[in-house]
Amino acid sequence: MKFVCLAYGDQRKMEALSKQQFEAMVEQCKIHDAELRATGKLVSGTSLEWAARTIRPRNGKPVVTDGPFIEAKEVVGGLVIIEAADLDEAVKIASLHPAAHIGDGVGWGVEVRPIAESCHQ
């Protein structure tokens, strides 16, 4: 079963990090990704830019707005797709990501969601 792990962060806090602090966090993520890849549990992963657009229907037509405009300071900054037997295993795997350990100061967090395979077959 596949799961998407959405990595959230606070853009302002991330941008306030020194170059060295930011690079140290990125390095920890690279190490984690390599370790996860070695287990065969990593399907895909990438960082996302902060800018986003949202498309929602209005009167039967798509309307594009800037940003996700969710009611939170954190926005999705990356995603990882993993393979796991169930949600409990997926949470266990996601909890090993640096965002679950060192991200207090930058609003990091990881959301784990099952991918609905039946919708894409």
Share of the chain above pLDDT 70, in %: 88
CATH placement of domain 2-111: 3.30.70.1060
Asked if residues 106 and 96 have their Cβ atoms less than 8 Å apart, the reply is no
DSSP-assigned beta bridge partners for residue 82: 3, 42
For 7-52, how does the pLDDT look when each residue is reduced to its tens digit (9 = 90+)? 888 888 888 999 999 899 889 888 989 999 999 999 998 888 877 7
Domain residue spans in the chain?
2-111
Which pTM does this prediction carry? 0.77
User: Where residue 107 falls among pLDDT bands split at 50, 70, 90?
Assistant: confident
pLDDT of res. 71: 56
Alpha carbons within 13 angstroms on the beta-carbon side of residue 78 total: 19
Tell me the Ramachandran region of residue 71: left when phi exceeds 0, alpha when psi lies from -120 to 50, beta otherwise. Answer: beta
Using pLDDT thresholds of 50, 70 and 90, give the confidence band for residue 56: confident
